[in-house]
Amino acid sequence: MELSIQVPEDHSAKIWRYVDLPRLLSLLEESCLYLARADLLGDPFEGSFTPRSLDAERVKAGDEYLSNTWRPLLGRLPKWTYVSCWHLAEWESAALWHLNASTSSAVALQSTVAKLISAFPATTEQGSEGELRVQDVSTVTYLDYRSDGPDLSFTSGPYIIKRASFAHEKEIRAVLQILPTIPKALGKRAINLSAPDGSPGIRQAIVPAAFLDAIYISPSAPTWHSNLLVALLKKYDLQHLGLSKSSLQDEPFF
């Protein structure tokens, strides 16, 4: 299946990330978003390919290129790829509260598509160490891996798709790849497949006061936790955000 980077037409659309208290503290203290390495996300299919996607690439590029270049590269890409995952929705998700932030100390961070794009502007460029830096923001397409597969024509293609079983996540993600390279003739460079793994995670600088639009407290948060979060917002000059009450705490109409 041929795919391209996709973002919602409405850049003001809300995005959400459900995190525990330590991750919130890390974001505020370091003014950074944490991106986990793709092979450490917990889904063994992350960045993988399928027989269907390999067959499509074989038709375009041939067996020799597929065997000697693409398959070795695809096998190494998860070690050099990092993602920041967000939920694209107008409303908070009861399922994601439960799955990703089930403790009473959890919070939901709310921002917008525009601010995620601003934090991760699309780029393909040589880094300071000579590596190739590829950066994109895209919604995730959900596929049946038994009958379809990721687009292998660009290196971030396998990271903007997931199995259909994860469709409830409605994910939009920032994908950052730091690909080690080696010089070749005529000033060109090639991916160094023997390079070591990348770090387990990397951080992207943001300004929390500008990036965040709201912080929602867990539906099960006790009063003392709310008071602690108010104190944290004051400490980091984020009082203007305030704390939003989860709509899951609303009283029924009867």
Give me the torsion for CA of 94, 98, 101, 103, rounded to 10°.
120
Residue 215 · residue 110 · CB < 8 Å: yes
How many CB atoms are closer than 10 A to CB 142? 17
Backbone angles phi, psi at 128, to 5 degrees: -65, -25
- Non-local (6+) Cβ contacts of 90 within 8 A are 13, 14
**Across 14-27, average pLDDT:** 93
Provide the 10 A C-beta neighbour count for residue 115. 18
* Of residues 14 and 153, more confidently modeled: 14
Mean pLDDT of the chain: 88
Q: pLDDT tens digits, residue range 214-234?
A: 999 888 888 888 888 999 999
What tokens were used for 168?
């409830």
